[in-house]
Amino acid sequence: MKRLREFVRENSHNPNAIAYAAMAIGALTFPGIAQFATGGNADYLVSLAADGGVFVLLAIGLNVVVGFAGLLDLGYAAFFAIGSYTYGMLASQQLISSPFHHALHVPFWIALFLGMFIAAGAGALLGAPTLRLRGDYLAIVTLGFGEIVPRFFRNMKDFTSGVNGISALDVPTLPYWITGPWANTQLAIEQNFRFVTFNVTAWYVLIVILVVASVLGVSNLYVSRLGRAWMAVREDETAAAAMGVNTVNTKLLAFAIGASFSGFAGAFYGAKLSLVSPDSFGFIVSITILSMVVLGGMGNIPGAMIGALLLYWVLYKFLPDAPLQASSLAHNLGLDALNTVTPNWPGIAEFVSRLKFIIFGLILVSIMLLRPQGLLPSRLRTAELKRGVHDESATETV
């Protein structure tokens, strides 16, 4: 008990520890509180939170590439697509209509790691010839790659059903699973449990476990020899090379590990939605993930996670809800005229929904102008920002 108290006291001024604690408590209590607050109708909210977890995973992965190693990746969604499509093709009836004529039904738990390795392999293949280029050249290459991959999947109609995407993916199964009041049922142990779509709490628990595992893994990488090599390469590539760091391999590993997270998250996302469509992996997704990392604080794992949660909430809950909110607000204020649609006025709801691009843009611009180091910055990077270290990598000062 005394030890615990000391531990709390020691960490009570450490913003990262507070952020981790807050997120852990939030993650544990969210399904229960949401179900209680909505009277048992919170499935939609819990499902949304599980999707948010996917973006947290993506932000953790991109943080390795951009934050730790200082490589700018503008096509991160490409690896997300690769992971999703890997799962989609390997775990559905899809391949029957392909030239192979045989459906593979690879179990989810294996396909998850296959998606991860294939994405990492794609990252390594793309990175090998391009990582020795200057920082923003890499950004341009990844930008091109991010544009190519979804279009490629859309065009390979035999394998991916083109624009329709792959649907009815296999459901992950587990021999045992515990359900309880947090999922709106009696406390019980279920046998041969299936992760069906409406069982949102199970998906939620799964993504929380995956996020925790990823945080542990990445935190360990951060303090490892490889993590220090990333930092060194980010700060000064020439000096790092002089100290015996193999800069190309170090950067390649950062790129591949980042890609593997994206592939991992992609496989999960595909399985949860039970649908893989080429529209969900555009440039805007890459930019959103990058903004999450930058908003939270580059190079800081809890920062990236908080940035992801915050921006996810704005983009997938606040903005979609805003039109209805505005409409009912106008109604309550007695301004029903705002809700009537005329040729010159699309109605307040439509008007607010049309504002979404501007709001997203304003968020990006104002954060960069007001707090370029992010909400929860890495201490090391804050120091760099103040001193203005000169370097030629993408994330450094010009």
**Near another protein by CB under 8 A: residue from 151, 194, 331, 379:** 151
User: Interaction with another protein in 17-76: which residues (CB under 8 A)?
Assistant: 66, 72
User: Interaction with another protein in 243-262: which residues (CB under 8 A)?
Assistant: 245-246, 248-250, 252-253
According to the binding rule CB under 8 A, does residue 238 interact with another protein? Answer: no
- Taking the complex as a whole, how short is the minimal distance between the CB of residue 154 and another protein, in angstroms? 7
Of 51, 48, 123, 125, nearest to 83 by C-alpha is 123
User: Which C-beta is closer to another protein: that of 40 or that of 320?
Assistant: 320
According to the binding rule CB under 8 A, does residue 354 interact with another protein? Answer: yes
| Candidate segments 39-47, 194-202, 241-249, 318-326, binder of another protein by CB under 8 A | 241-249
User: Which C-beta is closer to another protein: that of 106 or that of 248?
Assistant: 248
- Taking the complex as a whole, how short is the minimal distance between the CB of residue 141 and another protein, in angstroms? 5
Q: What is the DSSP letter of 390?
A: B
Long-range contacts of 378-385 (CB under 8 A, 24+ apart): 378/67, 378/297, 378/298, 378/299, 378/300, 378/303, 380/231, 380/299, 381/67, 381/297, 381/298, 381/299, 381/300, 384/235
According to the binding rule CB under 8 A, does residue 318 interact with another protein? Answer: no
**Near another protein by CB under 8 A: residue from 62, 229, 265, 305:** 229
**Near another protein by CB under 8 A: residue from 21, 103, 128, 338:** 128
H/E stretch holding 178 reads: strand 173-179
CA atoms within 13 A on the CB side of 164: 9
Structure tokens given for 397? 């000062």
- Taking the complex as a whole, how short is the minimal distance between the CB of residue 124 and another protein, in angstroms? 9
**Near another protein by CB under 8 A: residue from 35, 63, 84, 130:** 130
Instruction: Look at phi and psi of residue 374 and say left if phi exceeds 0, alpha if psi is from -120 to 50, else beta.
Output: left
Question: 222 to each of 254, 315, 334, 335, 349, how far by Cα in Å?
Answer: 11, 29, 56, 55, 46
- Taking the complex as a whole, how short is the minimal distance between the CB of residue 115 and another protein, in angstroms? 21
What does the DSSP assignment read for 187-210? SEEEEEEE--TT-HHHHHHHHHHH
8 Å CB contact between 31 and 182: yes
- Taking the complex as a whole, how short is the minimal distance between the CB of residue 43 and another protein, in angstroms? 31
In the block, tokens 């029903």 appear at 336
According to the binding rule CB under 8 A, does residue 331 interact with another protein? Answer: no
For another protein (CB under 8 A), the number of binding residues is: 66
8 Å CB contact between 68 and 234: yes
According to the binding rule CB under 8 A, does residue 117 interact with another protein? Answer: no
According to the binding rule CB under 8 A, does residue 364 interact with another protein? Answer: yes
User: Which C-beta is closer to another protein: that of 320 or that of 361?
Assistant: 361
- Indicate the residue type of 270: G
What is the x/- site pattern for another protein, positions 263-302, by CB under 8 A?
Answer: --------------------x---x--xx--x---x----
Question: 204 to each of 49, 182, 201, 208, how far by Cα in Å?
Answer: 7, 11, 5, 6
How far is 161 from 82, CA to CA, in rounded Å? 15
What does the DSSP assignment read for 208-221? HHHHHHHHHHHHHH
**Near another protein by CB under 8 A: residue from 17, 18, 329, 363:** 363
Q: What is the DSSP letter of 13?
A: T
Q: Which residues is 173 bridged to in the sheet? A: 194
What is the x/- site pattern for another protein, positions 155-174, by CB under 8 A?
Answer: x-------------------
What is the x/- site pattern for another protein, positions 196-225, by CB under 8 A?
Answer: ----------------------------xx
Instruction: Give residues in contact with another protein (CB under 8 A).
Output: 66, 72, 128-130, 132-137, 139-141, 143-145, 147-148, 151-152, 154-155, 224-226, 229, 245-246, 248-250, 252-253, 283, 287, 290-291, 294, 298, 346, 351, 354-365, 367-369, 372, 385, 388, 392, 394-398
